[in-house]
């Protein structure tokens, strides 16, 4: 169970879903929707769970996070070997993860089938996506396919796929590579492949501003 203390003294108990772009997503049992809280309004935070945490200086690591009693605005980041003391506003990103590798993997699978008596219409759909996060890199993949059949009409097939990989370097640099695939019978497109690779740099990134440059080169096949 996680807890946070707001600048007005309110205390929320629940689950930290993540922090990005100065917004903390917080889930409680007594609300149907997750709270979106401005990070600048949070004065204390307590959690024993592990997060991928980023600081405004570009450091990125796995740790727990808890405010330090008697030290206003200071948090303790326990990375397992030693503890790091930082200002709470220097924490710019939190993503909850588990301690083992399998718990860092997220998979979503959707399968659907549509049947209509009109023209004997049948459609089969699949949607697969996955994400894996480590301290220094993130990888994600996506695949979607639709197959439609009906009387007196040619079969229609549409497939889409995407693979991305980001590696975070020291001093606010990062590398990114990926590939995109598209096939669509309606567009007479058997398969189009797009490959990309590039690098980026965060010029300024904190809880008040997020500016970064991104350059990439693409190869179309």
pLDDT in tens, 15-25: 999 998 899 99
pTM here?
0.69
Contacts of 209 (CB under 8 A, 6+ apart): none
Q: What is the pLDDT of residue 209?
A: 60
pLDDT in tens, 78-93: 887 778 899 999 999 9
Q: What is the pLDDT of residue 165?
A: 95
Q: Mean pLDDT over residues 43-66, rounded?
A: 90
Residue 220 has pLDDT above 50, yes or no: no
Q: What is the pLDDT of residue 97?
A: 84
Residue 221 has pLDDT above 70, yes or no: no
DSSP for 1-66?
A: -EEEEETTS-EEEEEEEEEETTEEEEE-TT-SS-EEEEGGGEEEEEEEEEEEEEETTS-EEEEEEE
Q: What is the pLDDT of residue 181?
A: 93
């Amino acid at each position: 169970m996680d807890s946070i203390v707001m600048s007005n003294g309110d205390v929320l108990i629940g689950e930290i879903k993540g922090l990005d772009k100065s917004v903390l997503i917080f889930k409680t049992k007594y609300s149907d929707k997750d709270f979106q809280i401005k990070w600048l309004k949070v004065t204390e935070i307590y959690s024993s769970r592990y997060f991928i945490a980023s600081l405004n200086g570009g450091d990125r690591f796995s740790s727990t996070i808890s405010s330090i009693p008697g030290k206003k605005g200071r948090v303790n980041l326990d990375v397992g070997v030693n503890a790091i003391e930082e200002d709470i506003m220097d924490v710019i990103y939190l993503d909850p993860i588990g301690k083992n590798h399998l718990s860092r993997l997220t998979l979503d699978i959707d399968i659907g089938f549509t049947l209509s008596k009109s023209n004997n219409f049948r459609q089969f759909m699949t949607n697969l996506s996955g994400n894996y996060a480590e301290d220094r890199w993130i990888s994600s993949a996506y695949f979607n396919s639709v197959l439609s059949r009906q009387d007196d009409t040619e079969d229609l097939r549409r497939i889409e796929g995407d693979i991305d990989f980001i590696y975070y370097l020291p001093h606010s640099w990062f590398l990114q590579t990926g590939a995109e695939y598209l096939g669509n019978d309606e567009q007479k497109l058997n398969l189009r492949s797009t490959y990309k690779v590039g690098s980026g740099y965060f010029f300024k990134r904190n809880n008040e501003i997020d500016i970064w440059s991104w350059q990439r080169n693409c190869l179309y096949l």
